Structure 1
Amino acid sequence: MSFSVKDLLRAQVAPALGCTEPVAVALAAAAAAAVLPGRPERIALWVDPNIYKNGLAVIIPGTGGLSGLDLAGALGAFGGNPALGLEVLEPLTPESVQAARTLVRDGGVTLNLLQDQRGLFIRAEVFDGSHVAEAVIREMHDNVVGVSLDGRSLPLDKAAPRAAVKADVSRLEAWIKALTLEDLVRLLDDLDDEDREFLMEGVRTNMRLAEHGLKFGPGLGIGKALDRLVRQKLICRDMVLAARILTSAASDARMGGVKLPAMSSAGSGNHGLTAILPIWAIRDFIECDEKTVLEAMALSHLVTAYVKAHTGRLSAICGCSVAAGAGASAGVAYLLGGNLAHIAGAIKNIIEDLAGVICDGAKAGCSLKLATAAGTAVQSALFSLQGVNVLHTDGIIGASPEQTMQNIGTLSTEGMIETDRTILKIMLEKRFSGF
Structure 2
Amino acid sequence: MKYSVKEILHLEVSPALGCTEPVAQPATAAAASVIPAEHPEKIEVWVDPNIYKNGLAVIIPGTGGLNGLDTAATLGALYGDPKLGLEVLEPLDEVSTQKACKFKETNPVKVNLLEDRHGIYVRALLTFKSGNVEAIIEGVHDNIVSLTLNGRPVEGSSLVRTKQAQKADMTKLENYIKSLSLTDLVDMIGDLDADDFAFLSEGITYNMRLAEYGLRHGPGLSVGATLEKLARMKILSRDMILAARIITSAASDARMGGIKLPAMSSGGSGNHGLTAILPIHAVSEYVDCSEKIMLESIALSHLVTAYVKAQTGRLSAVCGCSVAAGAGATAGITYLMGGTPSQMAGAITNLTEDLAGIICDGAKCGCALKLATAAGTAVQAALFAIHGVNVHATDGIIGSSPEQTMQNIGTLSTQGMIDTDRTILKIMLEKHFASTDN
TM-score by length of 2: 0.96
Give the superposition deviation at 1:158: 3.6
Deviation readout 1:139-160 (Å, 9 max, x if unpaired): 1111111211111123574446
Q: Which runs of 5+ in 1 are unaligned?
A: none
Deviation at 1:132, TM superposition (A): 1.2
Instruction: Quote how far apart the aligned CAs of 1:297 are.
Output: 0.3
Matched, 1:39 2:39: yes
The amino acid across from 2:46 in the alignment is W
Deviation at 1:293, TM superposition (A): 0.4
Match of 1:134 in 2: 134
Give the Å deviation of 1:35: 1.2
CA-CA distance at 1:170 after TM superposition: 1.9
CA deviation after TM superposition for structure 1 residue 274, in Å: 0.2
CA contact (8 A) 2:41 2:107 kept: no
Alpha-carbon distance in 1 for matches of 2:345, 2:405? 10
Letter in structure 2 aligned against 1:121: Y
**Residues 62-211 of structure 1 mapped to structure 2, 5 A cutoff:** 62-155=62-155, 157-159=157-159, 168-211=169-212
Question: What's the counterpart of residue 29 of structure 1?
Answer: 28
Contact 1:311 1:410 in 2 (8 A): yes
Correspondence 1:54 to 2:63: no
Tell me how far 1:259 sits from its aligned partner: 0.5
CA displacement at 1:165 relative to structure 2: 9.5
Instruction: Decide whether the 8 Å contact of 2:146 with 2:160 is kept in 1.
Output: no
Distance 1:182-1:268 versus aligned 2 partners, 3 A rule: same
Answering whether residue 349 of structure 2 is matched by residue 380 of structure 1, we say no
- After superposition, give the CA deviation of every residue in 1:320-376 in whole Å (9 maximum; x if it has no partner): 000000000000000000001000001011000000000000000000000000000
* Other structure's SS at 1:23 match: coil
For 1:148 and 1:74, the matched residues in 2 are separated by 19
Shift of 1:125: 1.0
- 8 Å CA contact 1:275, 1:325 repeated in 2: yes
Structure 1 counterpart of 2:353, one-letter code:
E
Q: Is the 8 A contact 1:34 1:159 kept in 2?
A: no
RMSD, matched Cα: 1.6
CA distance in 1, matches of 2:287, 2:94: 46
Partner of 2:423: 422
- Offset of residue 96 of structure 1: 2.6
Distance 2:166 2:347 in 1: 31
Cα gap change, 1:381 to 1:155, in 2 (>3 Å): farther
How many residues matched? 433
**Contact 2:46–2:124, Cα closer than 8 Å, also in 1:** yes
Displacement of 1:164 in angstroms is 12
- TM normalised by structure 1 equals 0.97
What SS class does the counterpart of residue 351 from structure 1 fall into?
helix
90-99 vs 11-20, which deviates more? 90-99
The CA distance in 2 between the partners of 1:143 and 1:154, in whole Å, is: 16
Question: 1:177 and 1:74, CA in 2 relative to 1: closer, same or farther beyond 3 A?
Answer: same
- Residue 14 of structure 2 is aligned to residue 14 of structure 1: yes
Residue 286 of structure 1: how far off its partner (Å): 0.6
Which letter maps to 1:29?
Answer: T
User: Which AA in structure 1 matches 2:267?
Assistant: A
1:319 alignment counterpart: 320
Matches of 1:160 and 1:242 in 2, distance apart?
A: 43
Check the 8 A contact 2:143/2:160 in 1, yes or no: no
Distance, in Å, in 1 between the alignment partners of 2:287 and 2:211 is: 21
Q: Answer yes or no: is the 8 Å Cα contact 1:144–1:160 preserved in 2.
A: yes
Go from structure 1 to structure 2 and tell me whether the alpha carbon gap of 1:343 and 1:427 turns closer, same or farther (over 3 Å shift): same
Are residue 281 (structure 1) and residue 321 (structure 2) matched?
A: no
Residue 348 of structure 1: aligned partner: 349
Deviates most, 126-135 or 83-92: 126-135
Q: What is the percentage of aligned positions where both structures have the same residue? A: 64
Runs of 4+ in 1 over 3 A off after TM superposition: 155-161, 163-167
SS at match of 1:20: coil
